[in-house]
């Protein structure tokens, strides 16, 4: 178990906001085919929050996550992530924000099939600005993989792993650089309920023990129930913010 990093205590005490969206509008297409996907979305997420985003298909969940994750900058409004205004960052700074502050987990795992597990996990080190020694890159990858019970899969190709294992590798990759925020798009969508539950437990521990802010898109109730708060999107609008009482720590 990793000991609690100092910022966990700090954030829990302060309830400081880490993500804030103000009047975000998002359109797809132009001219007659122009379609508004997000309508005046305003949202605040604090340090250490464990939040689920629910809503019907096409309601704009992925679009919202892409904006928060700095993957999509073509929107109106303001989006501040970890104190940085996303739309004002240049390509390099935005890439660094994704590299250092954010982690992504996708429904379809999105592992690089031609790289081994540890190489997949260590990939974000490749894009870090400073020159990290090779041995350090490797040992960090092993450390994260071992934490998720994948010590025997370090040199395996992703093709030889089960769905649950693949998703754990993907999570390990997202956590490699010790991000503050983990953004997950249907992380249990391709998993059976048993392995899905394992992933939920994993997320819980990441949130509780490491103080990572989690934003999880899901359509599964058991996932949304596990979170502190559920944001319900409908047609690009927040229809309810069902804040449950945070569990006793």
Partner 1 sequence: MNLINVIKLVRKNISRNSKQLLVASIGIVIGLWAFSLFLSFGLGITNVVEGEIFPWDKIEVIPPATNLEASRTRTPVANSSACDENDFYIDGKPNGTVNHDLALKFHKKRYLDNEVVEMIRRRPEVRTAYPKMKFTFPAVAEGGQDALHLANPLRTEIFADGIEPSTLIQCNEKETAEDMERPREVRQCDVYFPFQFKDYALESDPDEPICSTSDDCGAGVYCEEEDPAKVWVFPLNKPDVGNLRNRYYKYCYHAIPVLVSTYLLELWNGSVAPAHGYPKISKSTLGTFLGLTFDTYLGLSMFTSKAQTVPPITRKFQLVGISRKAIPLGVTAPLTVAARYNDYFATRDEAGDVLDKERPKAETYSSIVVRVKSKKQITSFLAFVKKLGFTQEDTNAETVGLVILFITGILVFISFVIVIIAAINIANTYFMIISERRREIGIMRAIGANRGDIRSIFLAEAALLGFLDGALGLALGWLTATFVDWVIWHVVPEFPFKPETAFHFPLWLVISTVIFGVAFCVFGALFPAYKAAKIEPSEALLPQ
Ligand X SMILES: Nc1ncnc2c1ncn2[C@@H]1O[C@H](COP(=O)(O)OP(=O)(O)OP(=O)(O)O)[C@@H](O)[C@H]1O
Residues that bind ligand X (CB under 6 A): 28-29, 37, 55, 57-63
- Could you tell me the smallest distance in angstroms from the CB atom of residue 12 to ligand X? 30
Q: How far is the CB of 64 from ligand X (least distance, A)?
A: 7
Q: Cα(46)–Cα(225) distance, rounded to whole angstroms?
A: 19
Given 11, 52, 62, 99, the residue binding Mg ion (CB under 5 A): 62
Residue 91 binding target from ligand X, Mg ion, partner 1, none, CB below 5 to 8 Å by type: partner 1
Residue 127 binding: pick among ligand X, partner 1, Mg ion, none (C-beta 5-8 Å cut-off by kind): partner 1
For partner 1, which is the closer residue by CB, 84 or 110?
A: 110
User: Which region, judged by CB under 5 A, interacts with Mg ion, from 12-20, 22-30, 36-44, 60-68?
Assistant: 60-68
Residue numbers of the site for partner 1 (CB under 8 A)?
66, 69, 71-72, 74, 91-92, 94-96, 98-100, 104, 106, 108, 110, 112, 114-115, 123-128, 131-132, 134, 137, 173, 177
Residue closer to ligand X by CB (options 31, 133) is: 31
Pick 124 or 213: Cβ nearer partner 1: 124
Neighbours of 230 (CB within 10 A): 22
Residue 57 binding result from ligand X, partner 1, Mg ion, none, given CB thresholds of 5 to 8 Å by partner type? ligand X
Separation CA 46–CA 57 (nearest Å): 26
Give DSSP secondary structure letters for 36-84: EEEEEEEEEEETT-EEEEEE-TTSSHHHHHHHHTTS----EEEEEETTE
Q: Smaller CB distance to ligand X: residue 59 or 99?
A: 59
Give the nearer residue to partner 1 in terms of CB position, either 20 or 128. 128
3-state helix/strand/coil string of 109-150 = CCCCCCCCHHHHHHHHHHCCCCCCCHHHHHHHHHHHHHHCCC
28: partner contacted, choices Mg ion, ligand X, partner 1, none (Cβ within 5-8 A by kind): ligand X
| 3-class DSSP assignment, residue 25 | strand
Instruction: Tell me how far apart the alpha carbons of residues 50 and 119 are, in angstroms, rounded to a whole number.
Output: 29
Contact 185, 62 (CB under 8 A): yes
Q: Which does 148 bind (CB under 5 to 8 A by kind): ligand X, partner 1, Mg ion, none?
A: none
Nearest to 3 by CA among 184, 178, 173: 178
Coil, strand or helix: which one is 17? strand
- Three-class DSSP category at 184: strand
15, interface contact from partner 1, Mg ion, ligand X, none, CB < 5-8 Å by kind? none
Contact (CB, 8 A) for 233 and 185: no
Chain contacts with Mg ion (rule: CB under 5 A): 62
């Amino acid at each position: 178990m990793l000991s609690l990093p100092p910022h966990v205590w700090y954030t829990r005490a302060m309830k400081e906001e880490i993500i804030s969206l103000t009047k975000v509008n998002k359109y797809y297409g132009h001219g007659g085919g122009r379609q508004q996907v997000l309508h005046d979305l305003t949202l605040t997420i604090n340090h250490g929050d464990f939040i689920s985003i629910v809503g019907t298909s096409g309601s704009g969940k992925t679009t919202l996550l892409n904006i928060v994750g700095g993957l999509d900058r073509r929107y109106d409004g303001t989006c501040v992530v970890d104190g940085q205004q996303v739309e004002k960052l240049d390509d390099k700074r935005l890439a660094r924000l994704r590299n250092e502050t954010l982690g992504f987990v996708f429904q379809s795992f999105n592992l690089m099939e031609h790289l081994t597990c540890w190489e997949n996990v260590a990939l974000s080190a490749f894009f870090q600005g400073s020159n990290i020694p090779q041995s350090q890159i490797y040992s960090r990858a092993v450390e994260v993989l071992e934490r998720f019970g994948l010590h025997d899969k370090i040199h395996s190709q992703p093709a030889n792993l089960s769905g649950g294992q693949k998703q754990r590798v993907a999570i390990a990759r997202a956590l490699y650089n010790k991000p503050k925020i983990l953004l997950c798009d249907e992380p249990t969508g391709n998993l059976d309920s048993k392995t899905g539950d394992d992933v939920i437990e994993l997320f819980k521990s990441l949130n509780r023990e490491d103080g990572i802010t989690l934003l999880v898109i899901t359509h599964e109730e058991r996932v949304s129930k596990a979170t502190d708060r559920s944001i319900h999107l409908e047609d690009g609008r927040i229809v309810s913010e069902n804040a449950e009482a945070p569990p006793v720590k």
